[in-house]
Amino acid sequence: MAKHTPELILTGLELDKNSKRPMYWQLYDGLRQNILTGMLRAGQRLPASREFSTMLGVSRSTVLLAMDHLLSEGYIIGKTGSGTFISNELPEKFLYTSSIKNSNESHDLNAELSKRGKQISKIEISTTPMPEAIRAFQPGLPAIREFPHNIWSRIVTRCLRMISTPNLGYGESIGYFPLREAIANHIRVARAVKCEPEQIIIVNGSQQALDLTARILADPEDIAWIEDPGYLGAKAAFSGNGIKTIPVPVDHEGLNVTAGKKAAPKARIAYITPSHQYPLGVTMSLPRRLQILDWANNNNAWILEDDYDSEYRYGGNPLSSLQGLDENNRVIYLGTFSKVMFPALRLGYIVVPPGLVEVFLRAKSMSDRHNAMIEQLALAEFIANGDFARHIRKMRILYHERQQTLIFYAQKHLKGALHLDPSNAGLHSVGWLTNQKNDKLVSEKARELGVIAPAISAYCMAAKVPSGLSLGYAPFTESEIKTGIELLANIL
């Protein structure tokens, strides 16, 4: 029997000495697979550890560690004076069957989802990571290469070195107080937001903010207004919570409140980007702001103000927030650091009316308990010592220059084919295609050439807008912008 044992053990068993996985773990895993697939059968005797180590060309300690794991999990048993054997007590359903099954062979688990799960499974939303090499003209990205990594690294290192024991435990679900205080101080001045640190909830970016707000403020089958064209991530957050979304058209003054009232006067939520509408880039006029505030107050509705990139305004000072005009506590203000610092930071915030702080705290606790502490410590210092404000001022100048560069090359190479609207704020501009070309087709052809330029129609739900492309400029150098425009010219 011993003569045949090595052959069976070695079937499909490959140990890679250059792998990062420990050798004993590779051996354990290989033996376990052979047991589960029936290559090693119940009751079969294994060789002694010395013989086994010689046969495999590994140390005896490697074999002993692997055997110890298998023994503790019940795959093998040791019999005093007789040796080690494959266990007879393994459940029959695990024996002689492939432990790695093709998912297509199993029944459709989607049929067993909850109603909400089935709803979520139908929602179109990107789950792919950002490519390592960003390509012109991918919108929604800051100039990550221009971020002061050296300053940030020093702050993070200092926070790691000096972090106190209490901060290594579970933190406040609502967020690290010095960070909330720093944010409150900043947005009161920069965005005219009326708030105290106690009203700020730290979240993992805007998407979590939208999901939390939707779950707290609306019931399934309630109605939400959403800008059309608009940010489809908001639509996904509402739809995933069973909320019916009503597209409301956007014109040169922002969301058309009259159209929204006509379509769904009793909507529960209105989601808007008033300072720099996404993706069209328009700013909501003061009459429209007052109109939507009046609607929300009269209907006990909520306004979600997504202030995603308005720190970057190129004509005068940043506009005041809609929340700053609200006298009736109907506005929930959302902010993020993904656009002003870098997306991987995964920190954003919600400013809620005082009466909603407790329920948001409870919902945040159920969602993810608390945010990563090191990043919060570092960001609090980054804001408090002035590095954040200096970075914004520097990027405001750089982004304006890059927008001008984009306009220059568009006029030089695409005149008569694409008209580029200068934008007073943000990280992208809209290029309107002449002769009503199919913007989705143009976008697809551009991608084939390595240029990312989303079609404006892709952001539409019911709206009929002229054909156009969303062109981000913030992260790209003059050379990258020039090359991207020249490639677009090959298509247009």
Residue 140 pLDDT: 87
Which amino acid does the sequence have at 224? A
Q: Is the pLDDT of residue 126 over 80?
A: no
Q: Is the pLDDT of residue 188 over 50?
A: yes
Alpha-carbon gap, residue 173 to 212, rounded angstroms:
13
Q: Is the pLDDT of residue 232 over 60?
A: yes
Alpha-carbon gap, residue 421 to 407, rounded angstroms:
8
CA distances from 294 to 42, 150, 204, 259, 301 (A): 75, 47, 31, 15, 10
**Which residues does residue 431 pair with via DSSP β-bridges, in sequence order?**
420, 469
Q: Is the pLDDT of residue 102 over 60?
A: no
Whether the CB-CB separation of 86 and 43 falls below 8 Å is answered with yes
Alpha-carbon gap, residue 184 to 181, rounded angstroms:
5
CB atoms within 10 A of CB 137: 28
pLDDT tens, 372-426? 899 999 999 999 999 999 999 999 999 999 999 999 999 999 988 999 978 888 8
Q: Is the pLDDT of residue 106 over 60?
A: no
Whether the CB-CB separation of 10 and 39 falls below 8 Å is answered with no
CA distances from 442 to 28, 90, 452 (A): 54, 59, 10
pLDDT tier at 107, thresholds 50, 70, 90: low
pLDDT tier at 2, thresholds 50, 70, 90: very low
Residue 128 pLDDT: 60
Q: Is the pLDDT of residue 91 over 70?
A: no
Residue 39 pLDDT: 82
Q: Which token pair is 140?
A: 């929604």
pLDDT tens, 281-331? 999 999 999 999 999 999 999 999 999 887 888 766 667 899 999 999 999
In our burial notation (b when 16+ CB lie closer than 10 A, e otherwise), range 186-218 reads bbeebbbbbbebebbbbbbbbbbbbbbbbbbbb
Lowest average pLDDT, out of 123-127, 268-272, 476-480, goes to 123-127
pLDDT tier at 103, thresholds 50, 70, 90: very low
Residue 30 pLDDT: 86
Residue 53 pLDDT: 86
β-strands 428-433, 468-472 pairing: antiparallel
Does this model's pTM top 0.75? My answer is: yes
pLDDT tens, 11-45? 557 788 888 788 888 888 888 888 887 788 888 88
Q: Is the pLDDT of residue 112 over 90?
A: no
Residue 230 pLDDT: 95
pLDDT tens, 423-447? 888 899 999 998 778 999 999 999 9
For residue 476, whether the previous peptide bond is cis, meaning omega lies within 30 degrees of 0, is: no
Residue 476 pLDDT: 95
Q: Is the pLDDT of residue 210 over 90?
A: yes
Cα dihedral 146, 151, 157, 158, rounded to 10, equals -160
For 197-241, give the DSSP string: GGGEEEESSHHHHHHHHHHHH--TT-EEEEEES--HHHHHHHHHT
Residue 40 pLDDT: 84
In our burial notation (b when 16+ CB lie closer than 10 A, e otherwise), range 381-410 reads bbbeeeebeebbeebbeebbebbebbbebb
Lowest average pLDDT, out of 98-102, 107-111, 287-291, 469-473, goes to 98-102
Domains along the chain?
5-94 (1.10.10.10), 146-388 (3.40.640.10), 390-491 (3.90.1150.10)
Whether the CB-CB separation of 86 and 46 falls below 8 Å is answered with yes
Q: Is the pLDDT of residue 263 over 60?
A: yes
> What percent of the chain has a predicted confidence (pLDDT) above 90?
59
Mean pLDDT of the chain: 87
Q: What are phi and psi of 169, to 5 degrees?
A: -95, -160
Which carries the bigger pLDDT value, residue 332 or residue 70? 332
Alpha-carbon gap, residue 86 to 37, rounded angstroms:
13
Name the strand (E) or helix (H) holding 276. none
